[in-house]
């Protein structure tokens, strides 16, 4: 509670002193960053959370790194295989340890990274470090369990594509990208997933290339002693050998004209439209990119004029939203909507286009822009209330940049964005030649 009060005080000071003055540091917690001789980065964030610790192992490899033809989906596949255990702690033994200490352990895979996370009592910190270090250095599985897990992953894919949004996203990425590995989703291309049972030897090489200390950042947040914890990390991780081999990712060539597509969903659903524009990689020093983050909220969030018009007044759409993601390479800036009637698809599409054109010519009101900046900062700070929320909120930034120093740079830049910067971003990114439009319709 004391820490939360401190966060709130910090926020209000930054808001009211000098009309959102830029404080020396936005991130409210002190942290220790240690790089072991083998390249493993450890970030420790002590915070008031009596007896609780969050332990996040961020592997800076996701579906983006799957460059070999026919081998998409392996980053996600390894999320599964990492729970198969080692010779010292086989999967069932690892699971029983996690259960016995009352820990909450899980993992997820994204386009840019894979994250393994656990929440537990601080008394079990050394045991957690031991079992996590063991599986990251000594993962062991034979061909039969590998093939069993590969079949389960294909089952997960088949279940996933029964959801209209997953099917739509798969089509949008495939259509929007030609060469870059963002062309396939985190799950991978279906043909590649089906072929996984025959890729046992390749899977071993994937682990050896990417699961190396130079490619991993470990976040430890909560009731911890940084100095003692660093010594434990050295004890259990120092034997991990270097060997990371970065992939040769092909850059995406400039898009020169609009692309359009349709998806027939074999089920019952309202039509969904996804309007995607080629953006820029995450860079807090790129004013255009940071301004686009704000533009997405101003133009298409629940507080926007277009949302009020289409959702509340005209009631033509189920929802409307936008996503300006943080990625290592150029992502898609997306506007999406579920529409109540197929007859209104073109109307909704044109309303989105018109809205973006308006922002190219008309400056945003200063009050609206400043209110959004306050909300963003407030939302970020209020999300840092537990060890798990802190580590989870930082995971993507850590994966992209290798550290958390970027937080202050990002929020400092956000404070500097002007109405003219918003206009410039709208003019740069939201043009027809950068655009891919896909509509999904149900067949029942």
pLDDT at position 388 is 97
Q: What is the largest CA-CA distance in the chain?
A: 65
pLDDT at position 24 is 64
d(CA 261, CA 347): 17
Q: Which residues contact 387 (CB under 8 A, 6 or more apart)?
A: 45, 47, 49, 52, 53, 54, 119, 221, 222, 223
d(CA 127, CA 55): 12
pLDDT at position 15 is 35
Question: For residue 352, what are the CA distances in angstroms to 9, 173, 335, 358, 430?
Answer: 39, 20, 8, 10, 11
Instruction: Please state whether the predicted TM-score (pTM) of the whole model is above 0.85.
Output: yes
pLDDT at position 25 is 84
Chain length of the chain? 444
What is the chain's pLDDT, residue by residue, as a tens digit (444 residues)? 434 334 433 443 333 333 333 346 899 999 999 999 999 999 999 999 999 999 999 999 999 999 999 999 999 999 999 999 999 999 999 999 999 999 999 999 999 999 999 999 999 999 999 999 999 999 999 999 999 999 999 999 999 989 999 999 999 999 999 999 999 999 999 999 999 999 999 999 999 999 999 999 999 999 999 999 999 999 999 999 999 989 999 999 999 999 999 999 999 999 999 999 999 999 999 999 999 999 999 999 999 999 999 999 999 999 999 999 999 999 999 999 999 999 999 999 999 999 999 999 999 999 999 999 999 999 999 999 999 999 999 999 999 999 999 999 999 999 999 999 999 999 999 999 999 999 999 987
pLDDT at position 409 is 95
pLDDT at position 7 is 41
Could you give all domains of the chain from N- to C-terminal order, each with its CATH number?
A: 28-237 (3.30.830.10), 259-442 (3.30.830.10)
pLDDT at position 444 is 76
User: How is residue 141 written in tokens?
Assistant: 């599985």
The bridge status of strand 259-265 relative to strand 435-442 is: parallel
């Amino acid at each position: 509670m004391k820490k939360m009060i401190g966060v709130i005080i910090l926020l209000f000071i930054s808001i009211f002193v000098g009309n959102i003055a830029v404080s020396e540091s936005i991130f409210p917690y002190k942290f220790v960053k240690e790089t072991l001789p083998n390249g493993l980065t450890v970030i420790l964030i002590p915070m008031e959370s009596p007896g609780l610790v969050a332990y996040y192992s961020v592997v800076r490899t996701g579906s983006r790194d799957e460059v070999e033809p026919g081998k998409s989906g392996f980053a996600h596949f390894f999320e599964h295989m990492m729970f198969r255990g080692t010779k010292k702690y086989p999967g069932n033994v690892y699971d029983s340890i996690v259960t016995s200490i009352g820990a909450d352990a899980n993992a997820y895979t994204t386009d840019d990274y894979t994250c393994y996370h656990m929440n537990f009592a601080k008394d079990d910190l050394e045991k957690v470090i031991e079992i996590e270090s063991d599986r990251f250095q000594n993962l062991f599985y034979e061909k039969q369990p590998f093939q069993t897990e590969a079949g389960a992953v294909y089952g997960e894919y088949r279940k996933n594509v029964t959801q209209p949004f997953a099917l739509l996203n798969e089509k949008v990425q495939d259509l929007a990208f030609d060469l870059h590995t963002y062309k396939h989703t985190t799950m991978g291309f279906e043909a590649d997933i089906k072929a996984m049972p025959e890729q046992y030897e390749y899977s071993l090489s994937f682990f050896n290339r990417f699961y190396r200390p130079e490619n991993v950042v470990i976040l430890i947040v909560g009731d911890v002693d940084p100095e003692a914890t660093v010594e434990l990390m050295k004890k259990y991780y120092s034997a991990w050998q270097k060997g990371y081999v970065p992939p040769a990712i092909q850059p995406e060539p400039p898009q020169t004209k609009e692309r359009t597509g349709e998806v027939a969903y074999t089920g019952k659903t309202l039509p969904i439209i996804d309007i995607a524009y080629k953006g820029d990689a995450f860079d807090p020093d790129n004013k255009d990119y940071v301004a686009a983050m704000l533009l997405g909220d101003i133009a298409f969030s629940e507080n926007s004029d277009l949302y009020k018009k289409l959702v509340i007044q005209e009631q033509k759409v189920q929802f409307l939203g936008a996503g300006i993601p943080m990625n290592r390479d150029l992502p898609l800036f997306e506007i999406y909507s579920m529409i109540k009637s197929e007859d209104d698809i073109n109307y909704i599409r044109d309303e989105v286009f018109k809205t973006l054109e308006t922002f190219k010519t008309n400056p945003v009101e200063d009050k609206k822009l400043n209110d959004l900046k306050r909300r963003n900062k407030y939302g970020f700070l209020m999300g840092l209330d537990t060890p798990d929320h802190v580590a989870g909120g930082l995971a993507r930034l850590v994966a992209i940049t290798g550290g958390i120093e970027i937080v202050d740079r990002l929020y400092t830049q956000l404070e500097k964005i002007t109405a003219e910067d918003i206009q410039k971003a709208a003019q740069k990114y939201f043009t027809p030649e950068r655009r891919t439009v896909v509509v999904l319709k149900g067949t029942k």
